[in-house]
Amino acid sequence: MKSLSVLVVFPFLNLFAAQSQEKYDSPVSHGRILESLSMASRILGREVKYSVYLPYDYETSTRRYPVVYLLHGYTDNETAWVQFGEVNHAADKAIARGEIPPMIIVMPDAGVTWYVNDYKGKERYEDMFFQEFIPFIDSHYRTRPQKEFRGIAGLSMGGYGTLLYALHHPDMFAACVAFSAGVWTDDEIVNMDEGFYNKVCLPLYGTDENNGRISVNWKKNSILELAAKMPEEEIEKIRIMLDCGDGDFLYKGNSMLHITLSDRKIKHEYRVRDGEHNWTYWRTGITDGLKFIGQSFHR
């Protein structure tokens, strides 16, 4: 009799386990990736390439979607977040689980511009981004073009660009997420290896006769300077998340940014996880980054 009861109970247990598993493993519908499209820029005098992720129901609906601009790092391009970051898979799964709303993700190519207007006014990437690129995306895709439905994120050089755009244009984004952001202190700029400085920073920021590397254009584009000097109410217009690995060589600038914001009692989220400056770290963080931005799209 006991053996019979065991045989009867097990099928019910298996059915219960299967139903429980279905509850947590929602079917995943895949969004669409369009790579290396282009927009003609009058400001830059050239084509600007970009890739875009469209959520699974984009082609079958007429609705408009929130949009996240996702910025690549130094020497990468518009394909990096898909090829190495697998952001499309992360978004597909998060949407299926209800962790983020369906959203459009736009990934522009910035070359090695660091997303700034250079001090000579010849490479005006920031101007292009706001005067041409965002309007282009809003006119070619069914975005929700209001601030409260627009977010920005990026890694390394793109993390710097994310913070720069959030602080320079706090009325344009609801939230930003900076992974391993290229945030440097003034001391790091002054003591930076000459070869690296001349290659990366000098073409962007120039130098001053009296202040050397701490030029007017550097101050204008220094994340720490902006975080320290901007009115608190302006910074607090945008939700900020910082995420930098404990083994990342950019730990100092990211830590100082957290301290600067904390000292001013400006709300932000600061995460330090086990990891270094690599795609393993960014791949494992992008879902939480999209969640953070997605929360801002809710009312």
pTM: 0.91
Q: What is the pLDDT of residue 8?
A: 44
Both tokens of residue 37? 């499209």
Domain boundaries defined on the chain = 31-184+222-296
pLDDT in tens, 234-283: 999 999 999 999 999 999 999 999 999 999 999 999 999 999 999 999 99
Q: What is the pLDDT of residue 26?
A: 64
Both tokens of residue 87? 């952001």
Both tokens of residue 278? 């690599």
Both tokens of residue 298? 């809710």
Q: Which helix (H) or strand (E) holds 3?
A: helix 2-24
Query: Is pLDDT above 70 for 22?
Result: no
Q: What is the pLDDT of residue 4?
A: 43
Q: What is the pLDDT of residue 27?
A: 85
DSSP structure string for 162-228 = HHHHHHH-TTS-SEEEEES-----HHHHHTS-HHHIIIIIHHHH--BTTTBTS-HHHHHH-HHHHHH
Both tokens of residue 43? 């400001």
**From 3.50.50.60, 3.30.70.1350, 3.40.50.1820, 3.30.420.40, which CATH number describes the 31-184+222-296 domain?**
3.40.50.1820
Query: Is pLDDT above 90 for 147?
Result: yes
Split at pLDDT 50, 70, 90, the class of 25 is low
Query: Is pLDDT above 90 for 20?
Result: no
Whether 130 contacts 108, CB under 8 Å:
no
The Cα–Cα gap between 22 and 16 comes to: 10
